[in-house]
Structure 1
Amino acid sequence: MAKRDPNGRLRTLLAEARWSGQDFARAVNGVAAEAGLTLSYDRTSVSHWLAGTKPPAHVVALAAEALSLRTRRRIAAADTGLARPSAAARTEGGQADAGPDFGVGALGEIPVYSSAWRPPQEPPQDPERAGVRTGRRGGARIGLDHVRAAEAVLPVFRNSDMMFGSGLARPALTAYLATTVAPWLRADAPPSVRHRLLGATSRLAYTAAFLCFDGNQHGVAQAYYRAALRLGREAGDPQCHAPVLRAMSVQAHHLGHRTQALELAQAAAREAGRLPTLQAAFVTGQLAVAEAACGDRRAAIAHLAGAQKLLERSEGQSAPIGDYHQAALCHQEAEALAALGDGPGAIAALGASLRHRPPAERRARAVTAARLAELHLGQGHLERACAAWHEVLDAVPQLESARVTDALRRMRGRLRAVRASGVVRPLLERVAAGT
């Protein structure tokens, strides 16, 4: 058996991160969970790595990402001392960042919101390298009827998601993209038809990504977002790719990647001047949330005010993706204020969001009510928190949403210590009864 050399580079990085072996293992497992992987490394595993054992290539990328997030600087796979030479060269060469062709499953070796990935500044020059194969390869010719069909199904999937959550619509949409739309992208078509098809497919991929996000399939969601971004850029349509960047910022913020969320929001906001007023408000509001999460109070408040002004000027506008209204702006305001430590302000904003939220947007109402309950509990308002959670339970029988399920799981954990309370007991009984 060949003698292994101790991994001094990894030991130095762990010292910089102020991590024990168990801390590092837990962080690697956490990054893996974001990408939809279940790992169970522990301090013994890290001891083996320090002694010279090389884990699989995808674990090396996860380890590098965990260290990057901890140290707040870019740490490549090769820097960890864990990568085999051939795997390190392949990852650093960028091939792992290739996107899906709508058979989304294998996501390469770059973890979700990796510090190795940044939003592109220019449209890709080569469609084959854009991650979604769109080259003309002969066979059937695509016409406007195909594009109209793709455009017609988009509101069906969006409305289903808003009313019933992602669980019912997601399998149908991803199958439609993989079996129907992907072959159209490979077929021959006149330039005007291809341009419109790229835009329609970008919007469908954006919607599929959001459905995966709502289902806690974060690695797959990011793959669809990247596909949507590349298609939108290939089409040269900022109304496609700017909302995608904003949505990626929302996901990164949700997962706790504050720096990446801000960079993505800034990239979306750079397109604001090329967007309809409604979409400009949409991306500006998310920029405020990302700035607040990074502690920039002045910029966040200014951009919230800017989003409000843009929204007021957008009366009568709508958008196939990136739609926006007062309820959405109030929700962004609440997230920004919560990040800035203004609990009462965030509660008031969420209350306004619920008042403005259309009844048909049931999943959004449930998510908003759950967040309101958590903020009330944080302020010591137990009775108000329970009232908000009852509103979540009112929507649950009609919804299939992992985010809502997660909110109920958090609720049970947070109320465990006060489960004997007169206002808590009926709520927990209702949860247990599934009503």
Structure 2
Amino acid sequence: MPNEPLQRLFAESGWTLSQCARAVNRVGAEDATPLKYNGSAVHHWLGGTTPRSAAVRRFVVEAFARRLRRPVTHAEAGFPAPADQEQRPPLTVEGLIELGRQDMDPSRRSVLGASLFSVALTIPGWPDVIGRAEAVTMGRTQRIGMSDVDMVIAMTERVSDLDDEFGGRYARPMAAAFLVNTVAPALLADGPEHVRDAMKSAASDLCYLTGYMAVDEGLHGLAQGYYLKALELAGAAKDHLTYCTTLRGMSVQAVDLGHGQTAMRLADSAAAASPQAGPRMRAFLAGQQAHASAQIGDRNNALVYLQEAETAMEKAESRATTFASYNPSSLLYHVGQIRYELGDVKGSIESLQESDNLRNHTFRRNRVRFLSIQAERQLELGHLEAACDTWGKVVEIYPHVESGQCDTRMNTMYRRIRPYLKNHHARALYERARLVTPARLLA
């Protein structure tokens, strides 16, 4: 029996059978699931054959959501609902516990589609989460005070420091265990209303940070799960700052993966939810709006938002203290990304160099990423020796970080430099890098 719902989606997409198959294969590759579907497979799906694998059904739904730029459900594609749909805990704290436990147990992580970024994710608006404090149900056996809140804040700051210096591979499991074993019971405890709100806010910050570290490992679906919990908890705490910071972080995730329209939507949502933002927050949000605008080819808005970010940064206080803070180095990184998206590769490199000059070099993971981007663009202009010099700085720092993003950048370096190994500088870089690269990445 033909799958009429899927046929309707296919007609709306405007794809050929082969284009649809390639789109599904690309989504699968993001989730570390190599697929080799062709137009014949799509023809069978349209004719009523349901993919046996639940993962493949999820990939099909995500591929159509990306193509149509709107949420697409399994039912809309004529597929059965995911097996875990009814099992997903509806309450904020229960859902947080389940998410953290799955993250602590890698054998269960595939249930989440941990590596798959979803453009169809439903993002709760501020009015939707602000009234959901009742979802965080009070317990009966524990009572919390501000000292408990201070402990969660301090733990978040220390995990953030570890993440900045060494990458998230070791720090995130610590954060997940802390969320499950300490923070979740505190959220269910009794206490004065202002203390319970402060605990929700602190928990929201930690969820945001844990999601950010999941992005670092390329676990994009898992990261989105943490980000959603951060939004829910921020709303329950009436914490505008963390709500907007999380939306902006979700936009960064999207733009780095090349989903410009989704990044723009999230950046605009963050800005709309923060009408009373101070200058640093306004710079933080406008910089991201500028980057997303540039990626979708909207040059005029990119430059308008960038000017707004620069003006706001001039008004901001000199010190930035929190792990989500935005500073002049961050703004120059955005300038570099915007210039690149708009075709100015040389200007992009100059901005990234200026950003590095201002950056706190104890933040090793980000320095590896940003220097790698700079080197890749130097090579794009044909500046081989300059690229090798920049990659040389990366090789010095790389052994000190445990980061999926840094691993990816090193792999890119090997791929980009191999055609030039007859050059003395390229060969020397290649040999130095091999001495500090784990064997699993050299295979």
Residue 113 of structure 1 pairs with residue 109 of structure 2: no
Letter in 2 for 1:280: R
- Alpha-carbon separation, structure 1, partners of 2:378 and 2:177: 41
How far apart are 1:356 and its partner, in Å? 0.6
Aligned residue among 91, 96, 109 for 1:101: 96
Task: Tell me what 2:189 maps to.
Answer: 187
In structure 2, the partner of 1:31 is 27
Q: Quote the offset at 1:362 in angstroms.
A: 1.4
Q: 1:21 to 1:251 in 2, by over 3 A?
A: same
Could you tell me how far 1:8 is from its partner in structure 2?
5.2
Tell me which residue corresponds to 1:280: 282
Pair 1:49–1:215, CA change in 2 (3 A): same
Matches within 5 A, 1:219-234: 219-234=221-236
Report the equivalent of 1:70: 67
Helix, strand or coil at the partner of 2:412: helix
How do 1:156-305 and structure 2 match up within 5 A? 156-305=158-307
Partner of 1:400: 402
| Preserved contact between residue 329 and residue 356 of structure 2 (Cα < 8 Å) | yes
Q: 1:126 — aligned with what?
A: 132
CA contact (8 A) 1:21 1:46 kept: yes
- Calculate percent identity across the aligned residue pairs: 34
Preserved CA contact (<8 Å) 2:146 2:195? yes
* Aligned-pair Cα RMSD in Å: 2.8
Q: For 1:155-189, what per-residue CA distance to the aligned partner results, in whole angstroms no more than 9, with x for missing partners?
A: 21111111111112111111101111011111222
**2:343 aligned counterpart, secondary structure:** coil
One-letter code of the match for 1:181?
A: V
TM-score normalised by structure 2 residue count = 0.87
Q: Answer yes or no: is the 8 Å Cα contact 2:283–2:309 preserved in 1.
A: yes
Q: Which runs of 5+ in 1 are unaligned?
A: none
Shift of residue 373, structure 1, vs aligned partner:
0.8
How far does residue 59 in structure 1 lie from its aligned partner after superposition? 3.5
Greater shift, 16-25 or 141-150, is seen at 16-25
The 1-side partners of 2:114 and 2:323 are apart by 29
**2:287–2:309 Cα contact (<8 Å) kept:** yes
Give the letter for the 1:249 counterpart. Answer: S
**Count of residue pairs the alignment pairs up:** 422
**What are the within-5 Å matches in structure 2 for residues 299-314 of structure 1?**
299-314=301-316
Contact persistence 2:197–2:237 (CA under 8 A)? yes
Assess if the C-alpha contact under 8 Å between 1:115 and 1:260 holds in 2.
no
**1:52 — aligned with what?**
48
Shift in CA distance, 39/21, structure 1 to aligned 2, threshold 3 Å: farther
2:37 to 33, 39, 42: 42
Distance 1:434 1:109 in 2: 28
Report the equivalent of 2:108.
none
Alpha-carbon offset, residue 359 of structure 1: 1.7
Distance change (3 Å), C-alpha of 1:173 and 1:97: same
User: Does the 8 A contact of 2:74 with 2:82 survive in 1?
Assistant: yes
What's 2:393 paired with?
A: 391
Shift of 1:395: 0.6
